[in-house]
Every structure is written in C-alpha cells, then in structure tokens.
Amino acid sequence: MIKEKYVALGKKPSAIRVLFEYGKVRKQEVGEDHVFDFSIGNPNAPAPDCVKEAIIDLLNNDTSFHLHGYTSAVGDLKVREAVADYLNKTYNANTDAKLIYISCGAMPGLAAVFNCLIEKGDEVIVFAPHWPDYKVLVDQVGGTLVRVKPETVNFYPDYEDLINKINEKTRIVIINSPNNPTGAVYNEEVLTKISEIMSAKSKEYGHPIFLVSDEPYRDLIYEDYKYPYVTNFYKDSIVCYSFSKTLSLPGERIGYISVTKDCYRAYDLALAIGGSARSLGYACAPSLFQFILPKCLGQTADLNFYKENRDVLYKGLTDIGYEVIYPHGAFYLFVKALEEDDEHFSSVAKDMDLLIVPSKSFGYPGYVRVSYCVDKKTVVNGLPVFKKLYDKYKGE
Amino acid sequence: MIKEKYVALGKKPSAIRVLFEYGKVRKQEVGEDHVFDFSIGNPNAPAPDCVKEAIIDLLNNDTSFHLHGYTSAVGDLKVREAVADYLNKTYNANTDAKLIYISCGAMPGLAAVFNCLIEKGDEVIVFAPHWPDYKVLVDQVGGTLVRVKPETVNFYPDYEDLINKINEKTRIVIINSPNNPTGAVYNEEVLTKISEIMSAKSKEYGHPIFLVSDEPYRDLIYEDYKYPYVTNFYKDSIVCYSFSKTLSLPGERIGYISVTKDCYRAYDLALAIGGSARSLGYACAPSLFQFILPKCLGQTADLNFYKENRDVLYKGLTDIGYEVIYPHGAFYLFVKALEEDDEHFSSVAKDMDLLIVPSKSFGYPGYVRVSYCVDKKTVVNGLPVFKKLYDKYKGE
C-alpha cells in the first residue's frame, strides 16, 4: 500500500541533511561555538535590502486580494515580462514572457522538465560530481541517470566520456555551473565543446537532446567573469533558475524556467512545462515572492561575504596541505579526502565536530564538500580543526 | 520527445481558468462593472490582520537567515508542533509534529499522497460533483478516478453506489467537505456511514482503504456547526488542509497534511509522504508563510463577507426561480442549469457577460457553479443578469 521507496527516502533524507540535522542537535549538546558545520548550502549572507523593502511596500500599497491571490498558474504576466526583459538585456537571451514559467525554485523546475520530457527507460546524463537529488528526480520519472566523469584539474567534463555515454536513449544532458559541489564555472570554451558534441549527436539520432542548465549559483561568481548564458551556445537549452542563492531566499521557493525562441518547439515546450508542473501539484509560485522580483532583478546578497570566506578557507586549507579545487563560483570547496573512503574520512571529521559532506553522495568518491556559506567565526575557528584532522592522517 | 498530454494540459488549463482569463480580458474591453465574474474560487475577503502583522513582526525581529532559509523539508519543527497542538485542542485529533507535513497548499498535499499510495491500475473514488483537478493528479500517478454519484437534495454521497464502486483495486476514497462545487458540508451521520462502508470493505479486501480528506474550506462554515473531524470517524484518514481560503492566501501556497496516531503505519506513512513530496520537487513550503502560522492558527478572514453574499445570492436566485442547493459552507452555489447542456447554458450566460462554470467539468452535468467570493457589487448587479438569463429560457 505505502510505497516503501518513499518511506526509505523519508527516513534518510540525504547525506547533507543528515549531517545538518546532526549539527543542530550537537550544537545544543556542546554549544554553537564548538561545532563547525560546513554541511549545508543554506546561504547566510542576509537577503539584500530590496527584499524587505519590496515586501513592506507591497503590504502597504497593494491589495490583499492581488498580493496574496492566485496568479496565473505559470506566473503573473507582469513578473514574467520583467524576467524576460532582464534575461534579454543581460544575456541577449531572445526570450519572451510566454517562454518563462515562474517556479517554486530550481528543484520543482527540474521536476517539471523531467516529467515533461522523460519516458520510462530514457537516459539523462549528468557530469560528476553532482547534486545528489538529480537522481531522486530522474528516478521519479522512470529515467536512468548516467554519469560522465570529470577531468580532475578544473573539474570540467571529460568530453570523450560524454561522447561515449550519449546514445539514442539520451534525452537530456544536465549542467550545473557554477557547480555544486566543486565551484567550477564552465567558460565559453566548455559550453562550445558540449554544444558541438550534443549538436552532432542530436543530428545523428534525429531528435534534439535537451541541455538542462540548473543555475541556482549563476550570480555567485567571484572573478571578473561574464557568465556565458547557455542558450547562446546551444539553442535546445532549458534554463532552471532559482533566486535561493542570489537573494538569499532558499526557504521562499522562487525561481523560473526559461527557454529561447529558437528552441525546438519553444512555445509548445513552455506550455508542456506548465501542464507538467500542474500535474505534479504546482498551482503557482508564492505570489508575494513573485511580486518582489521586478524590484529585485539584478540585485544580489553581498557576494564579498562569500568571497572572503572562500579566500581565507582556500588559503588556509592549502597551507595546511589539503588538495583543493580552486572555486570560481558557488560557495563550496571540493577537497581531496585524506583516505580513499570519503565517508570514513567525513566520520573521522565528525568525531571532531567538523561537519563536511562525503563526495560519494555526489556520485564521485574520494573528496569532501566544504560549504563556506557560514559565518566568519566558523571559518576562522574551523581551520585549526582541519589542521588537527590533517595531522591525524599525516602526522605532525 | 515533449509529452503531448502536457502540451494539451498547458494549452487548456481548466474550464474555470478559461472563464477567469476570459473575464480579465473582457473587463478591459467593456469595463469592470459590466462583467459579472462568478468563475474562480479566489477568496476576496482580505487576509486577516494577523497576517500582515506577523509578516512585519518577523521581518523586523527575525534574522534573514532563519526567516528565509530552508526549513526541514517536512516543515519547521516548531510550526509542525503548533499545528499538531491546534488540531489536538480543536478536534481532539490525536496527532503530533511527526505526523504533520507542511505543504505548499492542499493540491501539492494531494499530489504527494497519491504519488505515495497509488500504483498504476489502482482506483481512487471521488464523490461527484468534484474539483476537476483530482483527475489530473490521479492520472499523473497512473490511477483511475472512479465517480460515485450524489443524492440530489443535500448532495451527500449515494451510499449504495459507493458500496458498488469499491473493489479490490480501490486504494483511496476522496472527500471534500465543505464541498467545491456544491457547498455541502458532511455531518456526523454522513461521515459515520462512509466510515462503516469503508471499514467493512477494508476488512473484506484485507488492506486499509485510505480516506483522503481535502479540506481547504474547513473553516468556511456559516452555521452553528461544529466541524466533524474526519480522523475521529475513520482512523485511516489523511487530511490535506490549506490556509488558502481560511486566511485568504491562495497565492502563497501554504497548508499541511496530517494523520492521526491510530492510522495504519502512521509514522511510516508520514515519512513516505515526505519522501514522495521530495521526489516531486518539493524542497519545503515557503518559509515566511510557515512562520506566520503559529500566530494565525484559528483565525479566519471575515466570514460574514461570504455569508452575506451567500444569503443575498441564494435568496435572489431562488426568488427568480432557479433551483439552488443550499450551501452550508465554502463559497459556491450549485445551481441547476435551465437546459440539459450545462456548457451551452454557461455560454449563453457568457454572452451576457455573466461568468458561471458548467458542472460537466466537475464530473456531474446539468448544473453551474456560481462562486460568491466576489464583491457585493458583483452580487447585486449580477442578479438582474441572472434574471435576464432566466427569462431568456422561461419567458417573462
């Protein structure tokens, strides 16, 4: 009667959540200052002022009926227009309001897209290491997640492996740049290469293979990069964006799905995404947080907050002797574990109240993910614990 | 590649939405005052003051990190405790925080429950007439929606038909009281009768048949009724509640799922609902609107607003000569169409700029649904148009 796979999923949420929940309990036992929780990607730079200002302005000047009422299921039209304008101005995205679906964050966007495109037995390619819940979402629609390995300098895709893994059952290739968990940002060269491979394979198999670009970290880039917008490289791309990280609103569940006018059956695809989301129970994205968007597009939480953490932690860890991928975006460091078994390594760290996530859960063993969306104190006081951990393995 | 069923669903949202969207356009053409839109169940009594007060209090006194951050996927623990306490005090519900899942409204709650319990080929019973999207949600999980007919005085279930329709494939019976579209409220006698039938059938087939109670209108009752809480009548009940109507927040997507401790495998079921929701892309319910709940539980929008509309409209329509089901709750009148073809009847009304929803879309032809969550002006000025419509059919 009750599907056991969901009982199991409900029992063991995810390696990240397990560590995070442990951390909350542990802090009550030994005190906040004695637990160094680098487990979860919960942005801790405060939401930018525009958020609170917009909410209060709306509460004081809009009607309850409009502000809290149902919007169109695909999102309020004016909000979709504002998002389309922003994407066109910022990235030359060649989209319009009808091609925007306002979603409850990136995860429901991915769920709606997978549900809309994947039949039982279809394959979805992802580049390892990757956010664990891609597997949950692909499993849900009966698809098979196929991992392509990375090269281990920049953690860009291994193109030969991509070529070998695409077959006639491949429907979707997922990218996630800036990347969780490595912090890698795909540059124009990487996107061009992926696009070339996917175009050739789409032609070979006689149907488009969609590129699904999961972009919650798009605005969290710490260098003088201009983010290369994916639809400009590969027209059959579906962008799943979230404001969770950009505006530090992960709990509020607001984001969007966007395609370009040149996409395969663009307008039918947009309609189908709406129909798919409705079938999964999505009535509309939270209305208040839809209506703040026109006032907050282009703004971000204070990125220096994360950049400083990154710099201190990267330098601190490499000085100790750790091997760390240099991250250009997001708020994660991907650190080589000091033994083969990353889960054991994480548990040794946990015994020191240092909470870091084993990379096996990201489909790529041998590393740990260190989230640096934490307060400075945790970074500064955490470094000696990383040193203690290092010494335990390497001697003093 | 793109599943055509979702393109179709995206193209034609629902009869209600189609009329509602038409009304918006039509109002721009002929002026707001000349369109009498009784189509959508968008509550128009303003949210009670506690909502705005709680939001501003939280914005001023909570941290951005806590207020807008991820909560536990199943909902913030303190919020779940508050909901459980409220249900125990108000209805003697015998539940606890672990049996509460905070959902993005009732619809996602239903989606998660169906996904968790229904295998391909299973049957789900619903009492006609019913909210159309039950079919969308049941179709999505591969189930078959089976309609039980009502008696036509109070629009309670036809029990003989229920007995005949339950078979070994039946997994769920859905109830929705107060009812959309009839306004019927199931009293203790009705719930006792349904419970007796389901208990006997569960025993006969050797597995529990779950009662899924969709309760967005629970607090919209206009008489001196005490709402009979379903788990007190049938232990294997799953309550899907929404604050959309109670607090006039339909756009904000906040509600919960609750079961009683005595339910079949209650704690496993609660875990499975969480796992199921996660698989559908639900990360957590909007955090700000979770946190206002402890301050707003038990409060409602001004129900007199709806009650007055009901009284004026019920009297007005019956005085004209319409046959109307007397509604004890929700904000709908179910009115017998003046011809067999309710869709044609609705289109004749539409030509008079009177927007009423044909009942065929509710799985029960021959009626129209008149939503009275509209401003008084629409009721008062709409009545003469109802008269004109009546006269067109019945002569003067």
To the nearest whole Å, the CA of A149 is away from the closest chain B CA by: 25
Q: Which residues of A touch B250 (CB under 8 A)?
A: 68-70, 283
| pLDDT of B156 above 70 | yes
Task: Verify whether the Cβ–Cβ distance A276 to B6 is below 8 Å.
Answer: yes
Q: Which residues of B touch A140 (CB under 8 A)?
A: 279-280
Task: Verify whether the Cβ–Cβ distance A108 to B282 is below 8 Å.
Answer: yes
Task: Verify whether the Cβ–Cβ distance A273 to B6 is below 8 Å.
Answer: yes
Which residues face B164 on adjacent strands?
Answer: none
Which H/E stretch holds residue A37?
strand A36-37
In one letter, which amino acid is A164?
Answer: N
Q: How far apart are CA B311 and CA B386, in angstroms?
A: 16
Q: How far apart are CA B331 and CA B310, in angstroms?
A: 7
Q: What is the mean pLDDT of residues B322-329?
A: 96
Task: Verify whether the Cβ–Cβ distance B286 to A40 is below 8 Å.
Answer: no
pLDDT, position B301: 96
Q: What is the mean pLDDT of residues B282-307?
A: 97
Q: How far apart are CA B212 and CA B210, in angstroms?
A: 6
Tokens of A45: 């730079």
3-state SS, residue B131: coil
For an interface test with B, the pick among A42, A70, A238 (most B C-beta atoms closer than 10 Å) comes out as A70
pLDDT, position B396: 62
Q: What is the DSSP string of A190-240?
A: HHHHHHHHHHHHHHHHTSPPEEEEE-TTTT-B-SSPPP--GGGT-SSEEEE
Tokens of A40: 């979860």
Q: How far apart are CA B312 and CA A390, in angstroms?
A: 77
Q: Are B370 and B183 in contact (CB under 8 A)?
A: no
**How many CA atoms, within 13 angstroms, populate the side-chain half-sphere of residue B244?**
30
| pLDDT of B392 above 90 | yes
3-state SS, residue B296: helix
- Token look-up 């487990």 returns A39
Q: Which residues of A touch B210 (CB under 8 A)?
A: 1
Q: Are B86 and B80 in contact (CB under 8 A)?
A: no
To the nearest whole Å, the CA of A368 is away from the closest chain B CA by: 22
Tell whether the torsion through CA atoms of A116, A121, A127 and A129 is positive or negative: positive
pLDDT in tens, B40-58: 888 989 999 999 999 999 9
What is the pLDDT confidence band of residue B225, given thresholds at 50, 70 and 90? confident
Closest residue on chain A to B118 (Cα): A1
Task: Verify whether the Cβ–Cβ distance B1 to A111 is below 8 Å.
Answer: no
- Cα B282 to its chain centre, rounded Å, is 20
Q: Indicate the burial class of B377 (C-beta count within 10 angstroms; 0-12, 13-18, 19 or more).
A: exposed
Average pLDDT in chain B: 96
Tokens of A391: 């010494």
Q: Which of B8, B133, B280 sits opposite A111 (nearest CB)?
A: B280
Query: Which residues of chain A fall below pLDDT 50?
Result: none
What are the percentages of helix, strand and coil residues in chain A, rounded to 5? 45, 15, 40
Q: Are B334 and B182 in contact (CB under 8 A)?
A: yes
**Cis ω before A129 (30° cut-off from 0):** yes
- Token look-up 């809009």 returns A62
In one letter, which amino acid is B362?
Answer: F
Q: How far apart are CA A204 and CA B160, in angstroms?
A: 59
Closest residue on chain B to A110 (Cα): B281
Q: Which of A10, A110, A253 sits opposite B271 (nearest CB)?
A: A10
pLDDT in tens, B175-205: 999 999 999 999 999 999 999 999 999 999 9
| Nearest Cα to Cα of residue B287 among B72, B18, B109, B40 | B72
What ipTM was predicted for this assembly?
A: 0.95
pLDDT, position B185: 96
**How many CA atoms, within 13 angstroms, populate the side-chain half-sphere of residue A103?**
35
Give, in order, the Cα–Cα distances in Å from A395 to each of A356, A390, A391, B354: 21, 8, 5, 82
What is the pLDDT confidence band of residue B233, given thresholds at 50, 70 and 90? very high
Q: Which of B56, B107, B137 sits opposite A59 (nearest CB)?
A: B56
Closest residue on chain B to A283 (Cα): B107
- Token look-up 């029992």 returns A11
Closest residue on chain A to B251 (Cα): A70
Q: Are B244 and B43 in contact (CB under 8 A)?
A: yes
| pLDDT of B266 above 90 | yes
Closest residue on chain B to A172 (Cα): B1
Q: Which residues of B touch A78 (CB under 8 A)?
A: none
Task: Verify whether the Cβ–Cβ distance B7 to A272 is below 8 Å.
Answer: yes
Q: How far apart are CA B320 and CA B306, in angstroms?
A: 21
> What are the backbone angles phi and psi of residue A365, rounded to the nearest 5°?
-75, 165
Which H/E stretch holds residue A126?
strand A123-127
Task: Verify whether the Cβ–Cβ distance B9 to A42 is below 8 Å.
Answer: no
Tokens of B76: 């913030």
For an interface test with A, the pick among B22, B68, B134, B145 (most A C-beta atoms closer than 10 Å) comes out as B68
For an interface test with A, the pick among B55, B115, B278 (most A C-beta atoms closer than 10 Å) comes out as B278
Q: Which residues of A touch B279 (CB under 8 A)?
A: 6, 9, 136-137, 139-140
Q: How far apart are CA B23 and CA B353, in angstroms?
A: 8
pLDDT, position A396: 62
To the nearest whole Å, the CA of B184 is away from the closest chain A CA by: 24
| pLDDT of B395 above 90 | no
Task: Verify whether the Cβ–Cβ distance A251 to B40 is below 8 Å.
Answer: no
Q: Which of B4, B68, B251 sits opposite A70 (nearest CB)?
A: B251
